[in-house]
Every structure is written in structure tokens, then in C-alpha cells.
Chains A and B, each alone.
Chain A
Amino acid sequence: GQQLNQSPQSMFIQEGEDVSMNCTSSSIFNTWLWYKQDPGEGPVLLIALYKAGELTSNGRLTAQFGITRKDSFLNISASIPSDVGIYFCAGASGNQFYFGTGTSLTVIP
């Protein structure tokens, strides 16, 4: 299957700091998505990107769909304790979805 490389694998940051994570693929995707997963729960969609070059915000979150269609990044500004969790990128190709391996975020108060 298609491999999505997500980095970093984990992050430990101070409350109030900005966070940046990215996802790269060897294949082109038509859609990039970013999810957050809290312990014991299913992933929840944060941002969906539908066009190459698109930059989309959702509150303190900003994500971009790379021009090459093979990458995407997610920024979180002014992190707060409830940002703790695992963040996944996902690429959609036709009706199939491929997920990255996740970035575990810890926010230290």
C-alpha cells in the first residue's frame, strides 16, 4: 500500500508554544486530511484540504495542501493542554484512504 511518512513521531512542548508537523507521500493525493485522536476514542477530523496549494484554518489550526500534492503540513498556534493527543494525516485517492503513522503531542503546562 501507499506509505505516508509523518514527522515528528512525538513532540513535547510548553503550553503557549507553536507546533508544526508534516506528512509526505510517494504518491499524489486528491485530498489531504488531518485528524486528532484522544485516548480511547476514534479519530476526529480537524481539517480537510481539497486543492493543491490550499491553506485552511480552523481556529488555532492551520493546514496546507502541498503544491506537488505529495505533502501537507499542520500548524497549531499557542498550544493549550487540551491539544494533547495523536495527530494523523491522511491522503485520499479515489475512495481509499491512507493514514500516516501519527504524531504524539504532549503539552506541558
Chain B
Amino acid sequence: EAQVTQNPRYLITVTGKKLTVTCSQNMNHEYMSWYRQDPGLGLRQIYYSMNVEVTDKGDVPEGYKVSRKEKRNFPLILESPSPNQTSLYFCASSLLTGNPYEQYFGPGTRLTVT
């Protein structure tokens, strides 16, 4: 089954404790992206990647890091989480040819930073 998976689905952590949210897709998509969703603000793009070793900042990259060492994986790293990073996070992927903007979203990771 074609899908985007994220782990963990739920995470409660404390300020300053480094964490990683994993994202994996099995559709051989070149493009992968991370978003955060906050009430009243919709989804905002954090980082995106066009292919392996190619990453770029989205609209709200501060406080986040990403890496793209393999085509299927695109982890989101919070080196020193703060309470304002409490949010619902989504990973998405799509092709760069054909229908390049048809992103498939993962199920989401709800992060709480205390």
C-alpha cells in the first residue's frame, strides 16, 4: 500500500530535550516536506527536499533541522524544543514529474513540549 508513515504519532517532551520525528514514504517520491498545523493558522511549511541531499527552508524553519540521506526518509529534528513548537506535524511527499503537486500526507505527529 502506497503510504507516508510518521513516528511517533504522539510525543510529550520537555524543553531542551532533543528529539527526532521520522518520516518514510514507499512511493519513490522525489519531493518531501514537513508542515506544522496550529489552530487558526492552517498548515505552514517548515522544510522541503527536492531529492537526496537537497533540502531548503520553507516558511517557518526556525528551530528545526532536516536531513535527506535516503530518498524514502526525511526526518525532522528539534535540537532544543521549546513550548512554542507544540503543534501537529505532518510529513508529505510527491513526485516532481507528472502531477508534481499531488502531495500525499502522513497521519500526523502530535508534539507537546512542556
Contact = CB atoms under 8 A, between A and B. Distances in A.
B44 interface: yes
Nearest to A86: B42
Which bucket holds chain A's interface residue count?
A: 20 to 34
Interface in B56-114: 56, 58-60, 90, 92, 99, 101-108
A1 B59 contact: yes
A42 B90 contact: yes
A41 B9 CA distance: 11
B87 to A, nearest CB: 14
Interface string A36-69: 0000111111001010000000000000000000
B101 A96 contact: no
A97 interface: yes
11 contacts: A1-B59, A4-B42, A33-B101, A42-B106, A50-B101, A88-B42, A96-B45, A97-B35, A97-B43, A99-B42, A99-B44
Interface of B: 4, 31, 33, 35, 40-45, 48, 50, 56, 58-60, 90, 92, 99, 101-108
